[in-house]
């Protein structure tokens, strides 16, 4: 009867959980352009890009329950060419969505035996973006990690219950009883986790405490003396790419679900480089363009996605913002715009110097890691970068990461589809 980890974590914000479950249920289990087994296989392909065993295992079970061919689970060499043709757009969306062009869309839609329809492709794109972003949440909240005595996050196969969180809805609503149970269990499990972490911190305080204070003081002094940097630049000396001690076990087991596994995130633009490819929201936005297109080609999904985007923006974060010395709306917009900036999406009416003022450097590197290469997130990073936040606040920021990342991927894909249709 244990509720799985994603539902437990999102249970800190029940209204958002309700919206998330409705969207997930609609994507996976309601009428739509794609067959049910293909939906779960696309989810497997998306989760594999970030080595997210949690989601892969979950959707493998759901794929089989939907009547999927077990041979497909041997890897993409054993699936129909039509599905296999999604590899390129899956890879680009997951790591460098700004590279998607109308030519990628045209290649999938061209007239042939294995061509996609526009409605099918939109359904697939939403699934890919949804699962990429959900992988960030899974890693960011520690759902993927085995918290051992060493305090490091190594991945492990998980034992799943009979119910997938995407089936936790009935019709269009979420069970209030589920929300109540989830809330209680989330609080209980978090209290145990917090107690464990406090114990580990006491053990290591002598060896780590003074060094951490020194780093924090050094970061504050450097931040006060330096000009605002490009918001997507990782803090010097704290790059998550340099931290390779968090082992990802059995990653090769997921390699069969993807091509070009070495393809990963690269900074969209460095300082002093040509930024003519910047995606300007004033030219193509979710509200004015993306919503209507996706809703027209995949009925009602636009309304569900829009509700979810609005729900995360409306979550209360007064305590979190107070700790950062700003208004809640200012803090949330700073996090959202920082994430979009890492994917080359810019808002002309926003002063990006605010990002460096609102977000401490270690917090920025945590957000960038979870957003761009979540598989590199580990327990030490989670603990070290979040000492000033309550657990519910950590979940809140991870929800912002989930939604901001998903919207960024959708904007690029939908713009490419729009350009193809013109």
Beta bridge partners of 147: 153
In a domain, 335, yes or no: yes
Written as tens digits, the pLDDT of the chain (422 aa) is: 345 789 999 999 999 999 999 999 999 999 999 999 999 999 999 999 999 999 999 999 999 999 999 999 999 999 999 999 999 999 999 999 999 999 999 999 987 788 999 999 999 999 999 999 999 999 998 887 643 333 333 333 333 444 455 554 444 334 444 444 444 433 443 444 444 344 434 433 443 444 444 444 554 455 444 444 444 443 322 223 333 333 333 344 799 999 999 999 988 765 444 545 789 999 999 999 999 999 999 999 999 999 999 999 888 776 777 777 778 888 899 999 999 999 999 999 999 999 988 888 888 989 999 999 999 987 777 777 667 778 888 899 999 999 999 999 999 999 999 999 98
Question: CB burial class (10 A; 0-12, 13-18, 19+) of residue 66?
Answer: middle
| 52 catalytically annotated | yes
Q: Which of 413, 129, 91, 41 is nearest to 258 (CA)?
A: 91
Listed in order, strand segments (DSSP E) in 144-269 are 145-147, 153-155, 169-170, 173-174
Q: How many residues does the chain have?
A: 422
Catalytic choice (38, 52, 131, 174): 52
In a domain, 151, yes or no: no
Within 13 A of 13's CA, how many CA atoms are on the CB side? 25
In a domain, 362, yes or no: yes
In a domain, 361, yes or no: yes
**157 φ/ψ angles, rounded to the nearest 5 degrees:** -65, 140
Q: How far is the C-alpha of 285 from the C-alpha of 268, rounded, in Å?
A: 19
In a domain, 154, yes or no: no
In a domain, 303, yes or no: yes
pLDDT of residue 37: 96
In a domain, 93, yes or no: yes
Residue 218 is inside which H or E element, if any? helix 176-225
Write out the residue range of the structural domain in which residue 322 sits.
Answer: 13-145+254-421
Q: How far is the C-alpha of 44 from the C-alpha of 258, rounded, in Å?
A: 10
The CB density around residue 26, as the number of other CB atoms within 10 Å, is 22
pLDDT of residue 379: 73
User: Are the C-beta atoms of residues 373 and 361 closer than 8 Å to each other?
Assistant: no
In a domain, 219, yes or no: no
Q: Which of 78, 86, 91, 77 is nearest to 108 (CA)?
A: 86
Residue 8 is inside which H or E element, if any? helix 5-10
How many structural domains does the chain have?
A: 1
Question: CB burial class (10 A; 0-12, 13-18, 19+) of residue 419?
Answer: middle
Residues 6+ apart with CB under 8 A from 189: 8
DSSP string, 63-132: HHHTT--GGGGG-GGGS-HHHHTTHHHHHHHHH-GGG--HHHHHHHHSSSTTPPPHHHHHHHHHHHHHHH
Buried b (16+ CB within 10 A) or exposed e, 380-394: bbbebbbeebebbbb
Distances (CA, A) of 261 to 90, 92, 235, 256: 12, 12, 26, 10
- Provide the whole-model pTM: 0.77
pLDDT of residue 98: 94
Give the sign of the dihedral formed by CA 295, CA 299, CA 301, CA 307.
Answer: positive
pLDDT of residue 277: 77
SS3 388: coil
Pairing of strands 345-346, 279-280: parallel
End-to-end CA distance of the chain: 51
């Amino acid at each position: 009867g244990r509720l799985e980890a994603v539902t437990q974590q999102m249970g800190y914000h029940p209204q958002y959980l309700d919206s998330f479950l409705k969207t997930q249920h609609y994507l996976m289990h309601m009428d739509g352009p794609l067959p049910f087994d293909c939906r779960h296989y696309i989810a497997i392909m998306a989760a594999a890009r970030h080595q997210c065993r949690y989601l892969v295992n979950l959707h493998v079970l759901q794929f089989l329950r939907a009547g999927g061919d077990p041979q497909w689970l041997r890897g993409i060499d054993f699936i129909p060419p039509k599905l296999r043709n999604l590899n390129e757009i899956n890879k680009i969306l997951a790591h460098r969505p700004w590279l998607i062009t109308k030519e990628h869309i045209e290649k999938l839609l061209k007239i042939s035996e294995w061509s996609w329809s526009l409605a099918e492709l939109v359904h697939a794109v939403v699934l890919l973006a949804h699962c990429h972003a959900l992988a960030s949440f899974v890693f960011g909240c520690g759902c993927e990690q085995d918290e051992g005595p060493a305090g490091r996050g190594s991945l492990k196969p998980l034992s799943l219950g009979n119910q997938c969180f995407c089936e936790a809805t009935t019709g269009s609503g979420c069970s209030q009883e589920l929300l109540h149970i989830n809330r209680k269990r989330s609080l209980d499990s978090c209290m145990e986790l917090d107690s464990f972490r406090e114990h580990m911190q006491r053990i290591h305080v002598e060896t780590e405490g003074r060094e951490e204070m020194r780093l924090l003081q050094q970061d504050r002094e450097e931040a006060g003396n330096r000009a605002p940097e490009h918001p997507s630049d990782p803090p010097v000396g704290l790059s998550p790419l340099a931290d390779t001690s968090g082992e990802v076990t059995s990653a090769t087991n997921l390699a069969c679900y993807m091509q070009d596994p070495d393809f990963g995130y690269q900074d969209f633009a460095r300082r002093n480089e040509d930024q003519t490819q910047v995606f300007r929201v004033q030219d193509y936005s979710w509200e004015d363009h993306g919503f209507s297109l996706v809703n027209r080609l995949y009925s009602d999904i636009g309304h569900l996605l829009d509700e979810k985007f609005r729900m995360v923006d409306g979550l209360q974060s007064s305590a979190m913002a107070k700790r950062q010395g700003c208004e809640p709306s200012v803090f949330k917009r700073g996090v959202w715009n920082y994430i979009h900036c890492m994917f080359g999406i810019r808002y002309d009416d926003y002063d990006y110097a605010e990002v460096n003022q609102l977000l401490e450097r270690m917090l920025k590197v945590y957000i960038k890691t979870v957003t761009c290469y979540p598989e590199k997130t580990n327990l030490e990073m989670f603990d070290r970068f979040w000492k000033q936040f309550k657990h519910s606040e950590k979940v809140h920021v991870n929800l912002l990461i989930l939604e901001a990342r998903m919207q960024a991927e959708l904007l690029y894909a939908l713009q490419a589809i729009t350009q193809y249709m013109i």
